[in-house]
């Protein structure tokens, strides 16, 4: 896979996540958020099982080391934490606040990478992240952030989990070239934790699950089985900070899908927000081409560079 193909895969994943917001919202009307998380990732886990098995055979049936297994488990915890915290946050905060705060991971990723690798993010990445964050402000908050609520803290905590997961994925792939196993493992962790917590803490109803089935199928097979898997595969070739910026286009696709499918009206500020986010992504992608060649020096592996 080339870098361009990886970026296009991330773009397609963002498109799926943007349109999946409607399915997730409808699904939560029928079943509890923990149950929804558990069932959607159970479907993702089942969908990835054949690919993970094929990858295992292709790798000569060599088992992964304990360190790689622990890292895969940690990434699965990040997925479960990010998804669950976001779902609970939406119960007690406004869509306006959540829409803006959900994009904070764009600026958290370079900071976490700096802490992990010691590689300072380039200026163009920081500018692109600020543009994307400002675009999200206009797109979702329309310049008027509401009163801080308890749910907002959940959304911010979810951003930390998302950012940590994005940063840990390339570290796993550098140790073990097993992207399908990683997808399979993280879905399994999220499914088990979500189902156990849902059964223990939420009322269960067969009728509710049946009603949520279309939303579960889309979230589990498309958003999970396809989009999250594409993210992992693509992150072998796209640095984490730039991957986060491309994935921030999710908010643009969510706004467009709401306008097309739900008849929601895009205001002038919302259009400006979309334009700023797109500008940030284009700037991040064009940045490497505008750099002057530097004398050769030791650098971090490509999958760990911040740009």
Residue 5: name the closest of 251, 240, 238, 280 by CA: 238
**Per-residue model confidence as pLDDT tens digits over 28-45:** 788 998 999 999 999 999
Question: pLDDT value at position 266?
Answer: 67
Cα four-point dihedral sign 226, 232, 85, 203: positive
Question: pLDDT value at position 124?
Answer: 84
Which of 3-7, 157-161, 243-247, 250-254 shows the lowest per-residue confidence on average (mean pLDDT)? 250-254
Tell me the C-alpha distance between 110 and 155, whole Å: 19
Tell me the C-alpha distance between 186 and 171, whole Å: 15
Q: pLDDT class for 300, splitting at 50, 70, 90?
A: very low
**Per-residue model confidence as pLDDT tens digits over 33-82:** 899 999 999 999 999 999 999 999 988 888 888 999 999 999 999 999 99
Helix/strand number for the chain, H first, E second: 13, 0
Q: Which residue has the higher pLDDT, 122 or 166?
A: 166
Q: pLDDT class for 281, splitting at 50, 70, 90?
A: confident
Output DSSP code: residue 238: S
DSSP secondary structure, 66-94, as one string: HHHHHHHHHHHHHHHHHHHHHHHHHHHS-
Residue 189: name the closest of 38, 35, 82, 32 by CA: 38
HSE-up (13 A, CA, CB side) for residue 79 = 33
pTM of the model: 0.82
DSSP secondary structure, 99-165, as one string: HHHTTTHHHHHHHHHHHHH--PPPHHHHHHHHHHHHHHIIIIITT------HHHHHHHHHHHHHHHH
From the number of C-beta atoms within 10 Å of its C-beta (0-12, 13-18, 19+), residue 65 rates as exposed
**Per-residue model confidence as pLDDT tens digits over 251-279:** 777 777 766 766 666 677 777 877 888 88
Which of 143-147, 234-238, 298-302 shows the lowest per-residue confidence on average (mean pLDDT)? 298-302
C-alpha dihedral (190, 194, 195, 197), degrees to nearest 10: 140
């Amino acid at each position: 896979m080339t870098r361009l193909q990886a970026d296009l895969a991330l773009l397609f994943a963002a498109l799926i996540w943007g349109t999946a917001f409607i399915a997730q919202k409808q699904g939560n009307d029928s079943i509890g958020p923990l149950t929804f998380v558990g069932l959607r990732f159970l479907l993702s886990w089942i969908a990835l099982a054949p690919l993970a098995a094929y990858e295992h055979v292709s790798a000569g049936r060599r088992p992964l080391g304990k360190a790689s297994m622990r890292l895969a488990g940690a990434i699965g915890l990040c997925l479960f934490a990010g998804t669950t915290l976001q779902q609970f946050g939406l119960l007690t905060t406004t869509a306006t606040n959540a829409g803006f705060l959900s994009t904070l991971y764009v600026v958290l990723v370079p900071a976490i990478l700096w802490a992990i690798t010691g590689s300072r993010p380039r200026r163009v990445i920081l500018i692109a992240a600020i543009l994307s964050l400002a675009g999200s402000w206009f797109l979702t908050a329309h310049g008027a952030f509401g009163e801080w609520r308890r749910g907002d803290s959940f959304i911010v905590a979810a951003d930390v989990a998302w950012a940590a997961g994005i940063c840990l994925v390339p570290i796993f792939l550098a140790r073990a070239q097993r992207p399908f196993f990683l997808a399979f493992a993280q879905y399994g962790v999220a499914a088990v934790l979500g189902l156990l917590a849902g059964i223990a803490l939420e009322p269960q109803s067969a009728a509710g699950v049946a009603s949520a089935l279309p939303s579960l199928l889309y979230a589990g097979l498309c958003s999970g089985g396809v989009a999250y898997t594409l993210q992992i595969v693509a992150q072998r070739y796209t640095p984490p900070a730039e991957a986060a910026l491309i994935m921030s286009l999710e908010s643009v696709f969510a706004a467009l899908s709401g306008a097309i499918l739900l008849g929601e009206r895009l205001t002038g500020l919302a259009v400006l927000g979309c334009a700023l986010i797109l500008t940030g992504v284009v700037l991040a992608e064009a940045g490497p081409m505008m750099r002057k060649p530097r004398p050769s020096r030791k650098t971090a592996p490509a999958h760990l560079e911040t740009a």
